[in-house]
Amino acid sequence: AQSVAQPEDQVNVAEGNPLTVKCTYSVSGNPYLFWYVQYPNRGLQFLLKYITGDNLVKGSYGFEAEFNKSQTSFHLKKPSALVSDSALYFCAVRDFYGGATNKLIFGTGTLLAVQP
Amino acid sequence: DGGITQSPKYLFRKEGQNVTLSCEQNLNHDAMYWYRQDPGQGLRLIYYSQIVNDFQKGDIAEGYSVSREKKESFPLTVTSAQKNPTAFYLCASSPPGASSYEQYFGPGTRLTVT
């Protein structure tokens, strides 16, 4: 079965410092990986995706993610955190089973708290 | 939140009543999805539809029903059979074909049942 894991419920970082939000995956075949962000009482916003190509993927709001096949990881990173980055972050993987769908399997989310 | 609208934003119901949550999209997407979000559990798939007049159960379909009579609309009914209906409900859609796999989400409806 395909799955993603976000091992940290919460990540705390000071404004201006680099941030990393971790995600590991388990899939059979090539993974299609995604990061989303959710602000309080809002829907999810797409940040970036890895389908194929360069292992370093750049996305919205200065975020990037590094695909590491040997470590089965897809960590979200940003060189300099902003207080406004504080939100809930979800990693997701495409579910290949069940036919030709775009079903996604989501992790449990990581709350990012950036202190001023 | 793109071209997906969910209404209402907050919904309150008494236990034992059915309630229908609205989801409309103007993105011309074929596939639509309903998720339930509870604290600490991420998103869980309730139902999804790949085309009009067709839909499939997700991981937690019991106590829910859907319809897909129009491409733009995918309403979710939370029935009285759903044991713990209080949650944040998210609707999403995705475009057809193999060129794009991400989903686009609506703003959500927070349902409280007392």
State pLDDT tens for residues A52-66.
889 999 999 999 999
**Contact residues on chain B for A51, CB-CB shorter than 8 A:** 101
Asked if B94's CB is within 8 angstroms of A34's CB, the reply is no
Asked if B103's CB is within 8 angstroms of A104's CB, the reply is yes
Average pLDDT over residues B19-32: 94
Q: What is the β-pairing status of strands A33-38 and A87-94?
A: antiparallel
Predicted confidence band of residue B2 (pLDDT cuts 50, 70, 90): low
Predicted confidence band of residue B100 (pLDDT cuts 50, 70, 90): low
Measured CA to CA, the distance from residue B88 to residue A22 in angstroms comes to 25
Closest residue to B50, CB basis, from A51, A94, A101: A101
Q: Scan residues 53-112 of B and list those with Cβ closer than 8 Å to A.
A: 56, 88, 90, 92, 94, 101-108, 110
Give how far A54 is from chain B: nearest CA, Å. 17
Measured CA to CA, the distance from residue B84 to residue B22 in angstroms comes to 19
Question: Tokens in use for B109?
Answer: 């409806």
Asked if B103's CB is within 8 angstroms of A43's CB, the reply is no
User: How does DSSP classify residue A61?
Assistant: G
Residue B101 has pLDDT above 80, yes or no: no
Q: What is the β-pairing status of strands A33-38 and B43-51?
A: unpaired
Bond preceding residue B8 cis, omega within 30 of 0: yes
pLDDT of residue A75: 98
State pLDDT tens for residues B37-52.
998 788 999 999 988 9
CB of A108 closer than 8 Å to CB of A3:
no
Helix (H, G, I), strand (E, B), or coil: what is residue A80?
coil
pLDDT of residue A100: 56
pLDDT of residue B70: 96
pLDDT of residue A20: 98
pLDDT of residue B41: 81
Measured CA to CA, the distance from residue A46 to residue B1 in angstroms comes to 10
Measured CA to CA, the distance from residue A33 to residue A31 in angstroms comes to 6
CB of A20 closer than 8 Å to CB of A12:
no
Select the more confidently predicted residue: B104 or A102: B104
- Residue A90: name the closest of A111, A113, A64 by CA: A111
Asked if A34's CB is within 8 angstroms of B108's CB, the reply is no
Phi, psi of A65, deg, nearest 5: -140, 145
pLDDT of residue B42: 86
Q: Which residues of chain A have pLDDT under 70?
A: 97-101
Measured CA to CA, the distance from residue A9 to residue B85 in angstroms comes to 24
Question: Tokens in use for B36?
Answer: 């339930």
State pLDDT tens for residues B61-74.
999 999 999 999 99
Asked if A108's CB is within 8 angstroms of B90's CB, the reply is no
pLDDT of residue B97: 66
Q: What is the β-pairing status of strands A10-14 and A110-115?
A: parallel
pLDDT of residue A2: 84
